[in-house]
Every structure is written in structure tokens, then in C-alpha cells.
Amino acid sequence: MKNIREISKADLNDIIINEMGESKYRAQQIYDWIWKKNVSRFEDMTNLSKSLQAALALRFFFRNLSIDSMQESVDGTVKYKFKTSDQHFIEGVLIPTEHRKTACISSQIGCSLSCKFCATGKMGHIRNLHFDEIYEQVALINKEVEKKYGCKLTNLVLMGMGEPLLNYKEVLKAINYITQPDAFAMSPRRITLSTAGIAKMIKQLGDDQVRFKLALSLHAANDVKRSQLMPINEHNNLKTLATALNYFYQQTKGEITLEYTLLQNFNDTVKDAEELVKFYRTVPVDLINIIEYNTIKNGIFQPSSEDTLERFVGILSKQQVNVRVRRSRGKDIAAACGQLVV
């Protein structure tokens, strides 16, 4: 038996038409059920005969992801705990606003990067997610959005568990189906991939001419502090990352954002702000997102005060930096940035 989502459209057509003796129209119906209507059981393909449903079930299977539990925040954010077919768990988040319905999804089970401010890093790395598991997070959250709000997801961020660029092939394959007109059909400009900063793979994104947005988790604009926060900086320092980001932009003209989490008495001083401005000037960045730190279990940091945050943002604004404060959503259910862990 084969995982039906791992079969290309051409190969699926060949099997359905030439091996199973069905029409081209039937093959298209089956493809639409898989990728447009996002079903994960053959018996839900209701315009197919029972005999064809049974025949498909003898040849193919779905590597199903399921919603194990849901939690809703006081601010409307919803955290989903997904269960994989091999009994692992990952988390994803729906962040609804009046005009946007954004899903935050995971690319790995756990993470190997051990960033000091992130709960996921404390799990270690269990395994990479397959492309269809990444895709199905989107499909499952979208079904919940359609039921509650009567519309589709509008935006997608790969900012959940894991480092997307350490699962490069599967992540790009998932994004391909998410953006294909005959599948989920989301515009790539509504997708943001967030990375801790792997210079080689950022350049590869440029070579692959991706059309989605890129966010770099910066969090410190000097190498000493960044290495203390993010061990990956030892092999991907700021100069190397600046070169990679410039290359990415030259190849794609894609939008780049810097993510900077303020940590009390660590990276929130006037000097830190000035260093951030200096780094900003070296790369074609559209925006700096200043993020409130969300406390984690056994964490060593505390969030900066509101006064410190305002002072920090003010320094950037006076230097004509395009800066925005990204307020945390879902903190009361541990669904905010850096808090996802199972």
C-alpha cells in the first residue's frame, strides 16, 4: 500500500485510469478530494461509488494527523495538539483577528537548536515532519476556521515547533501543495517562514526562487550575545547571515522581517538598540518585529518592562527604522511565541 499523498498527480492519474480502469474525470475527482477538499478517509469521498472507495482503500492509505486536544485563550487564540500516526505530538496555533485568520504550524517534532528562550528547544529533536503532516496541520486548522468563521485561513506562518530549514525538502514540498491552484491555493505572499538563521539554506531559498516571505529570528545584534542565546550563531554569525539575506533578496525580491524578542537586562539597552539599527542598515529588511518575551518553564529570562520596550522602540523609530511591536497572543494557554512544547 502507498501513501496516496506521496503520489504525484500524473502517477495517480496513471493508476486510476490505466490500472483501475476508471475515467480521467474520476481521477480528477479523487485528486480534488485529497487536495482541495482535504479529506483523509476514502469513505468521505461521497461522489465515488462504495466499490471504488473500497478499491482505493486496498491500494492506498493516508498518513493521518489528528487533533488530540484544543485550548482556547481568553483572546480567541486556539492551540491545537496534533497526534501523528506514530503516536508523537506537535502543536499548532490559530490566531484570529477581524480581517485575518492566521495558522502557526510546526515543521519538526521538537527542535535541535536549543535556543535559550524557547520551550521547544528543551525537548530536543525527535524527528522531522513529513510534507503531508505539515500540510495536514493547515487543512485541519482550516476546517475549524470554516466551521467557526465561515471563511478560509488567510495567512500562514511556519513559526511553530522546529527549524524549517533543517527540514528543507519536506517544508518546501508542503508549501508547494499549500500554494498550488489545484490544491489549497493560498498565495505564497501570505506565507512566512521563520528561521533561526542557517545561512547556507537561506541562500538555497534564493536559488530555489521561493515566493514566500522570510523572517529571521535575530534577538541580538552582536555575536557574543546572540551566541549566548542561540548556539547556532557560532556557525552562522551576523556577517554570514547578512550576506545570505542580501543574496536571498537579490534572487527573489522577497520580503524579509527581523524578529527581536526583548529580554530584561540582556538585549534591551540603548546600546542593543543602536546595534540593531546598525545591522538593519546592512540588509534589505522590510520590518523589525519587537516581540514580548513569553516566560517558559525553568526559563532564565524575564520580559522587559513596558517603559523599556517603549524606549527601545523609540530609538529605532527615531532612526527611521520600520518597527512594530508584536503583542503576544495566547499566553494564558502557552500558545505564544516560544512556548510550544509537548
The answer to whether the beta carbons of residues 137 and 157 sit under 8 Å apart is no
The three-point CA angle 142-146-147 to 5° equals 120
- How many secondary structure helices (H) and strands (E) does the chain include? 10, 14
Q: How far apart are CA 5 and CA 15, in angstroms?
A: 14
Q: Which of 91, 163, 170, 259 is catalytic?
A: 91
- Catalytic residue at 337? yes
The CA R_g of the chain, rounded to the nearest whole Å, is 21
**Helix/strand/coil (H/E/C) assignment for every residue in 78-122:** EEEEEECCCCCEEEEEEEECCCCEEEECCCEEECCCCCCCCCHHH
d(CA 127, CA 86): 11
State the CB neighbour count (10 A cutoff) for residue 299: 17
Count how many Cα atoms sit within 13 Å of the Cα of residue 296 in the half-sphere of its side chain: 23
169: helix, strand or coil: helix
| Contact indicator for 337, 291 with CB cutoff of 8 Å | yes
Nearest CA to 218 out of 335, 332, 323 is that of: 323
Question: Which among 283, 282, 295 has a CA at the least distance from the CA of 328?
Answer: 295
**Is residue 274 flagged as an active site residue?**
no
Which one is catalytic: 104, 111, 115, 337?
Answer: 337
β-pairing, 287-292 with 256-262?
A: parallel
**Alpha helices per DSSP H over 217-269:** 223-229, 238-252
SS3 123: helix
The sign of the CA dihedral 275, 276, 277, 278 is positive
Q: Which residues are catalytic?
A: 91, 337
